[in-house]
Amino acid sequence: MIVVLKHGVAENKKQQLISWLEKQNLRVNVSEGDYQTVLGLIGNTSHVDTDLVASLAIVDSVKRITEPFKCVNRKFHPEDTVVEARGAKVGSGNFALIAGPCSVESEEQIVEVAKAVKAAGATMLRGGAFKPRTSPYDFQGLKAEGLELLRVAREETGLPIVTEVMGVRDLPQFEDVDVIQIGARNMQNFDLLKEVGRMRRPVLLKRGLANTIKELLMSAEYIMSEGCTEVILCERGIRTFDDYTRNTLDLAVIPLLHELSHLPVIVDPSHATGLARLVPPMALAAAASGADGLIIEVHNDPMSALCDGAQSLRPEEFASLAEKIRAVRKAVAE
Ligand code: PEP
Ligand code: MN
């Protein structure tokens, strides 16, 4: 349920209403916009007398949110959410260019790639330390050592780090990770979503391989219902009948998610296509469609990458793409 307050309501009257609602076992999320204040009520609102609330002098309107997702709902929080990690912002006109290798392989590799993508305009560094691989015999990531190398690269470049957590057990190692990634395969690992939500750190949530938009929003709801306010939604392609590409990129989710939710929406053209030559056109299409950012795999030597070399751009290819992304964003803003 949302309660929209009248413009210019006195602070003490607003606080009185909030305390009264909280006494009814509800959590109140206050969203202050330029023109209106919206109180989002979290919890069981079935016993709340909507007519009574609507009759209060400071209340403009009361609406029940019919969708099952509440905290992530645009109705709940009409303004765009801006997620911020070490000064890098995403959402509401702030574009995140997240780049780096699929996996952290060595100090030399991650630092070299980090420096190159930063010089090209990247705002955050990606790199997997814990890798979800289809085969247990494939490289599984450097784990704790990989996280340490990401810290080194962060120290060298100042770029915030984005890296995936695979299980609740590993979460204590992620305390100082700037953006915690939940991968496609874990999108519905509800225990993990809840634990990550309790950390109240920025989260990058990827859409599952075969999950609907509603399911993605419900997973973000799991994270936010635990108190986290900073979730970035990521479209990374879904599985369809076609096998020329690794997945099928669903770009329509960008405007759709912006309608349904206040959370920033980014696109991963690397996992969506699986082919480096398809990454630039899909990245530009996502930027033109209003994405709040991109997460792109970049490797200094794709031919010898331990994971996802075929979809990785070389640093110089990324630099040229970054320039085109800026041009496309400028063109669609005009
Ligand atoms: C990744 O970003 O490294 C990754 C494994 O992506 P996804 O979860 O989208 O497959
Ligand atoms: Mn990858």
| Shared-domain flag, residues 127 and 207 | yes
CATH number, position 187: 3.20.20.70
Nearest-CA residue for atom 4 of ligand 1? 183
Distance from C-alpha of 331 to C-alpha of 93, rounded to nearest angstrom: 14
Residues 199 and 312 in one domain: yes
146 and 261 share one domain: yes
d(CA 200, CA 219): 15
Does 5 score more than 90 pLDDT?
Answer: yes
For 164-267, where are the alpha helices, taking DSSP H only? 190-199, 213-224, 253-260
CB-neighbour burial class of residue 50 (10 A; exposed 0-12, middle 13-18, buried 19+): middle
Atom of ligand 1 nearest to the CA of 132: 5
Structural domain includes residue 107 = yes
Q: How many domains does the chain have?
A: 2
CA 175, CA 169: separation in Å to the nearest integer?
13
> Which residue minimizes the CA distance to atom 3 of ligand 1?
102
Boundary (domain end) residue, out of 18, 34, 63 = 63
- pLDDT for 23 equals 94
Please check whether residue 118 lies inside any domain of the structure. Answer: yes
pLDDT of residue 315 exceeding 90, the answer is yes
Based on the domain organization, do 101 and 239 belong to the same domain?
yes
Minimum mean pLDDT among 67-71, 237-241, 288-292: which range?
Answer: 67-71
Residues 159 and 207 in one domain: yes
Same domain? For 164 and 221 the reply is yes
pLDDT by residue (tens digit) across 21-46? 999 999 999 998 888 899 999 888 98
Is 128 in contact with 150 (CB distance < 8 Å)? Answer: no
Q: How far apart are CA 278 and CA 260, in angstroms?
A: 29
**86 CA to middle of ligand 1, Å?**
23
pLDDT digits (tens, 9 = 90+) for 96-121: 999 999 999 999 999 999 999 999 99
**pLDDT, tens digit, 9 for 90 and up, residues 193-242:** 999 999 999 999 999 999 999 999 999 999 999 999 999 999 999 999 99
Q: Considering only CA atoms, which of 262, 256, 260, 264 is closest in space to residue 291? A: 264
SS3 311: helix
The set of residues, in sequence order, having a beta carbon less than 8 Å from that of 15 and lying 6+ positions away, is none
Q: Whose CA is nearest to atom 6 of ligand 1?
A: 183
What's the token pair of residue 231? 């979730």
User: Chain centroid to CA 329: how far?
Assistant: 20
Strands 96-100 and 293-297: parallel
Q: Whose Cα sits closest to atom 9 in ligand 1?
A: 184
Query: For atom 10 of ligand 1, which residue has the closest CA?
Result: 184
Q: With respect to residue 75, please indicate whether it lies within any of the assigned structural domains.
A: no
Residues 141 and 226 in one domain: yes
Centroid of ligand 2 to alpha carbon of 2 (angstroms) = 40
Ligand closest to Cα of 305 equals 2
Looking at the fold, whether 37 and 109 belong to one and the same domain comes out as: no
Confidence of residue 306 (pLDDT cuts 50, 70, 90): very high
Maximum separation of any 2 CA atoms in the chain, in Å: 68
Tell whether 107 and 238 lie within a shared domain.
yes
72 in any annotated domain: no
Query: Could you tell which of 181, 188, 234 is best to mutate to test the pocket of ligand 1, judged by most ligand atoms within 8 Å of the CB?
Result: 181
Mutate to test the pocket of ligand 1, among 98, 102, 177, 308 (most ligand atoms within 8 A of CB): 102
Distance between CA 94 and CA 257 in Å, rounded? Answer: 17
Q: What is the pLDDT of residues 163-203, one digit of tens each?
A: 999 999 999 999 999 999 999 999 999 999 999 999 999 99
Instruction: For residue 221, give its domain range.
Output: 83-333
39: domain CATH number? 3.30.70.1140
Would you list the DSSP string of 63-76? E---SS--TTBTTT
Do 21 and 159 lie in one domain? The reply is no
**pLDDT band for position 64 (cuts 50, 70, 90):** very high
In a domain, 297, yes or no: yes
Of the listed ligands, the closest to the CA of 184 is 1
Kindly state the percentage of the chain with pLDDT values over 90: 96
Sign, CA dihedral 269-273-275-279, equals: negative
Kindly report the backbone phi and psi dihedral angles of residue 279, in degrees, each rounded to the nearest multiple of 5, phi listed first.
Answer: -65, -50
Instruction: With respect to residue 258, please indicate whether it lies within any of the assigned structural domains.
Output: yes
Q: Which ligand is nearest to the CA of 272?
A: 1
Same domain, 271 and 312: yes
In the chain, helix, strand, coil percent, each to 5?
40, 20, 40
Q: Which atom of ligand 1 is nearest to the CA of 236?
A: 9
Q: Which residues lie with the beta carbon below 6 Å from any ligand 1 atom? A: 102, 128, 132, 164, 183-185, 206, 236, 268, 271
Q: How confident is the model at residue 153 (pLDDT cuts 50, 70, 90)?
A: very high
pLDDT at 171: 98
pLDDT at position 334 is 84
Instruction: Write down the pLDDT at residue 33.
Output: 85
Residues 44 and 151 in one domain: no
Q: What separation in Å is there between the alpha carbon of 70 and the centre of ligand 1?
A: 27
Distance 258 CA to ligand 1 centre (A): 22
